[in-house]
Chain A
Amino acid sequence: MRHFVIVGVLVAILTPLTYIGLSSAHMMPVEASAQSQIVDQMWNWDMMAVSFLLALIVVPMFYSLIVFRRKKGDTTDAEHVEGNTKLEVTWTIIPLITVLVFAYLGAYTLGETRIADPNAMVIKVRAQQWSWSFEYPDGFTSTDLHLPKDQQVVLKMQSSDVIHSFWVPEFRIKQDVLPGRVTDYRITPDMIGSYKVRCAELCGTSHAYMEANVIVTSQADYKAWVADQVAAAQALAAIPGPNAARGEKIYEQYCRACHSIDGSKGQSPTWRGLYGSTVELNDGSAVVADDAYITESIKQPAAKVVKGFDAMGFNPVNAGVTDAQIADLIAFIQTLK
């Protein structure tokens, strides 16, 4: 009986110690969204259970290893105890009840994270192999995600090629982005600061670098930023004919993830000095990089493949790049000497 008491006391001591140790170790990133407080609450309940269960198994185990060690030279067997059905039933029923309690807590927490604010702001997110782009309700598109504090936003997300996953560690919530279907990401940022959205589903070679800035500002700053963006977008759109500056914006949105413009080598050919150069193709032939070649490389990426590279895995046309935008891109490429 003495053993039981000692073990019981040790478990009673170790459990809070483990829990305090865990929660003081700042296991989670900063809580930057309303949902993150809810998720962390569930996490703390989990950690309480883990601390208790860890102690409940480890303490009697190490206690036995110390106290019930075989004495030197003792070759007899230990006491013949086969089992105890009452004990077995208890340690089946209690975990079952714990499981049901955690099922309830889990469902409650999930419900809390999905509470929908009817007039949440809708931002369309397009993910492609290795970059994000955000289309705001006011009609302009940016590669940065600006969000106003304390207002729920619904990101309607879709991918142009493979499965990606939108995750901001400080917001806690993660949601896959699927080709051919829209998935929702509902979040209410409640802490000003700049974070990073990091793609969390393996999406090919540069999955590690598929990131974008997430900037949470006050309502006023957000409105000011939107006003500038709308003005800039309208100014840019007003310029007639193919335009390099517009081309650069499109480049940033669709092509920057793979093509460098400073000549550095990477997964795909650099655009620096491309226009007018002779390009060697993988079937040995060579072609001058004029408007026609570049337009064809954009519209049918697999038609002519540059030597030493795999075919361009991204199809700009079905990602939504229009003919006018292609013209702007070519204008931009022409400026890259």
Chain B
Amino acid sequence: MPRNEIIKRILLSLAAGLLLSALISEFSYIFLRTPQDRGPQQIVLVVPAGTAERVAHGEAEPSIPADMIFVVGDTLVVKNQDNVAHRLGPLFIPAGAEASLKLDTIASYAYECTFRPGQYIGLDVREATTLRTRLVGILFGGLPMGALFAVYAVLGIPYKKKTE
């Protein structure tokens, strides 16, 4: 079988494999989507006025969650509307000002913070299933399928010369 015929069949098989895998992956993605599957965003956390006193009395400020889940690449912006300066891990936020924290490594931070009774807040940075991950998934599914189709296409289907 001439070489370009083989190459044609291999390429066709790989394309078929990738297409089929794309179909399955995207279809199964419907079941597997989670709220964290989004591109990086800016997330604002507001520290309302009077939080400092509440914390002093050991009460929690309801609008501030104990744990926040982020996606790699997110930026956390803390707006301090309290009349007292606050700290969040490395961030120092004077009263009335705001500061931002870039979260670009997969990790779970336990930062001390002055606006929660436990003096601690959990920031969980997740690897999101972005489009790039789904493309990698299609590649991982498509290549083996393409390889199998290629073996059958090249060796299975006999080659009839155009002239016959």
Partner-B contacts on A (CB < 8 A)? 92, 100, 103-104, 107-108, 110-112, 114, 116, 122, 137, 139, 156, 158, 181-182
B24 contacts partner chain A, Cβ-Cβ < 8 Å: yes
A137 and B24: CB pair below 8 A? no
Interfacial residues, chain B to chain A (CB-CB below 8 A): 20, 24, 27-28, 30-32, 34-35, 66-67, 106-108, 118, 122, 124, 152
Interfacial chain A residues near B27, Cβ < 8 Å: 104, 107
Bound complex: CA of A139 vs CA of B58, how far in Å? 13
Q: How far is the CA of A107 from the CA of B31 in the complex (A)?
A: 7
A92-B152, A122-B66, A139-B118 given as contacts; is B31 within 8 A of A112 (CB)?
A: yes
Q: Is A116 within 8 A of B108, CB to CB?
A: no
Could you tell me if B28 and A103 are in contact, using CB atoms closer than 8 angstroms? yes
Q: How distant is B15 from chain A, measured CB to nearest CB, in Å?
A: 17
Q: B106 is contacted by which of A103, A158, A181 (Cβ under 8 Å)?
A: A181
**In the complex, A114 Cα to B34 Cα: how many Å?**
9
Q: Are A110 and B118 within 8 A (Cβ)? A: no
Write out the residue numbers on chain B whose beta carbons fall within 8 Å of the beta carbon of A158: 108
Query: CA A108 – CA B24 in complex, angstroms?
Result: 11
B32 is contacted by which of A92, A111, A181 (Cβ under 8 Å)? A111
Chain A minimum-CB-distance residue to B29: A107
Please, could you name 11 A-B residue pairs with CB atoms under 8 Å apart, sorted by A?
A100-B24, A103-B28, A104-B28, A107-B28, A107-B32, A108-B31, A111-B28, A111-B32, A114-B34, A122-B66, A156-B124
Q: Is the CB of B31 within 8 A of A181?
A: no
Give the distance to chain A from B112, nearest Cβ to Cβ, in Å.
14
Considering the complex, give the chain B residue whose CB is closest to the CB of A103. B24
C-alpha spacing A156/B152, complex, angstroms: 47
Contact of A116 with B24 in the complex, beta carbons under 8 Å: no
User: Smallest distance from the beta carbon of B42 to chain A beta carbons, Å?
Assistant: 21
**B27 nearest in chain A by CB position:** A104
In contact, A181 and B152 (Cβ under 8 angstroms): no
Which residues from chain A contact B106 at a C-beta distance below 8 Å?
181
Find A181's partner among B24, B35, B108 (CB 8 Å cutoff).
Answer: B108
Question: Do A122 and B67 form a contact, CB below 8 Å, given A114-B32, A181-B107?
Answer: yes
**B31–A110 touching, CB < 8 Å:** yes
Q: Provide the bound-state CA to CA distance between A111 and B25, in Å.
A: 13
Q: Which residues of chain B come closer than 8 Å to A181, judged between CB atoms? A: 106-108
The main secondary structure of chain B at its interface with chain A is: mixed
In the assembled complex, the CB of A319 is this many whole angstroms from the nearest CB of chain B, namely 14
| Minimum CB–CB distance for A229 against chain B, Å | 17
CA of A241 to CA of B54, assembled, Å = 29
Which one of B31, B32, B122 has the greatest number of beta carbons of chain A within 10 Å? B31
Report the Cα distance A100→B27, complex, angstroms.
12
Cβ-closest chain A residue relative to B145: A96
The CA of A265 and the CA of B66, in the complex, are separated in Å by 44
- A137 x B32 contact (CB < 8 A): no
Assess A116 versus B66: contact at CB under 8 Å? Given A92-B152, A103-B24: no
How far is B152's CA from A158's CA once the two chains are assembled, in angstroms? 46
Question: What is the minimal beta-carbon distance from B62 to any residue of chain A, in angstroms?
Answer: 13
User: Nearest residue in A to B35 (C-beta to C-beta)?
Assistant: A116
Docked Cα-Cα span, A137 to B60, in Å, equals 13
Q: With A100-B20, A114-B34, A137-B66 given, can you name 19 additional A-B contacts, CB distance below 8 Å? A: A92-B152, A103-B24, A103-B28, A104-B27, A104-B28, A107-B24, A108-B28, A110-B32, A112-B31, A122-B66, A122-B67, A156-B108, A156-B124, A181-B106, A181-B107, A181-B108, A182-B107, A182-B108, A182-B124
Taking a contact as CB atoms under 8 Å apart, the answer to whether A111 and B24 are in contact is: no
Residues of A within 8 A of B107 (CB): 181-182
Q: Which residues of A contact B20 (CB under 8 A)?
A: 100
Docked Cα-Cα span, A103 to B66, in Å, equals 38
A156 and B31 CA atoms in complex are apart in Å by 23
B66 contacts A104, C-beta separation under 8 Å: no
Query: Across the interface, which residues of A come within 8 angstroms of B28, CB to CB?
Result: 103-104, 107-108, 111
Give Cα A107 to B24, complex, Å: 9
Q: Which A residues are CB-close (under 8 A) to B67? A: 122
Bound complex: CA A333 to CA B32 (Å): 51
CB within 8 Å for A111 and B124 given contacts A122-B66, A137-B66, A182-B108: no
